[in-house]
Amino acid sequence: MYRFLLSRQWVSLTLIGLVLIPSMIELGFWQFHRHERRVEQNALIARNLADKPVPVTELTSPGHTVPRSDYWRAITATGVYDTENEVVVRRRVNADEKVGAQVLTPLVLADGRAVLVNRGWIPLAADQKAYPEVPPAPRGTVTVTGRLKADETTRGSGIKDLAGLPDRQVMLINSEQRSEAIGRPVLGGYLEQTAPRPSGTLPELIPEPDHDSIGAHMAYAVQWWLFVAGVPIGYVILVRREVRDRREAAAKSAPEPAPANA
């Protein structure tokens, strides 16, 4: 009765099921690991944002690569803004998903080194090749508080570092590139300003990174694993239905018994 399982159709169906089961198990673990990474990142962000601000020079130096454990650390820097070497970072969105630019201004410390300060978001000029109107940075010695961020690279951010951009416009926030451009040592990474707040509405300070939501990765993982359980159950149901249909067909095609002789 079960010899139909050796037919080409059922062998193919069996092989598909055997391939689907480990694939869906793997997809479930992939989503589970994404959930774990999101939970870990949320904890890291919350912990680093809650830490007491420390001087930026305690965490980074020229050529330093900011480790993931220091992302979003609260830092302070005191110095004088170098507005002559200020640039804008193209194609950045604000909290309302409007495309504009971010203002990147070197802050020169007392020892002559500089730290890049992302002062916030501004809208682009009507002519995107023109340098936008940038609110002036404060004059004199200032103390800035913010979040420590790592240098941006094309590999890490997916942003293409385009050549031939208009004057004083860049695609990436990268301390080594800016150090070469301005001719002075620049601390690795950059400071994403949180205080003081600008006197006007612009630049818009970069909002705090989300560290509350965890997404639906765990739900997706459970979903994939439920699909795994559904494959053998569905296979058994199909086999039993095939057996039933074959039995019913055999019963209908069986010859009627001959009448008994009187």
In angstroms, the CA 134 to CA 103 distance is: 7
In angstroms, the CA 180 to CA 186 distance is: 9
Tens of pLDDT, residues 220-231:
999 999 999 899
DSSP class of residue 134 equals -
Contacts of residue 162, Cβ cutoff 8 Å, sequence gap at least 6 = 171
pLDDT for 250 equals 77
In angstroms, the CA 223 to CA 237 distance is: 20
In this prediction, residue 256 has a pLDDT band, given cuts at 50, 70 and 90, of low
Tens of pLDDT, residues 128-183:
788 999 999 999 999 999 999 999 999 888 888 887 899 999 999 999 999 999 99
Per the prediction, the chain carries an average pLDDT of: 91
In angstroms, the CA 33 to CA 43 distance is: 15
Question: What residue type is assigned to position 247 of the chain?
Answer: R
Crossing angle of helices 217-253 and 8-50, in 10° steps, is 170
Q: Exposure pattern of 19-32 as b/e (b: 16+ CB <10 Å)?
A: eeeeebeebbeebb
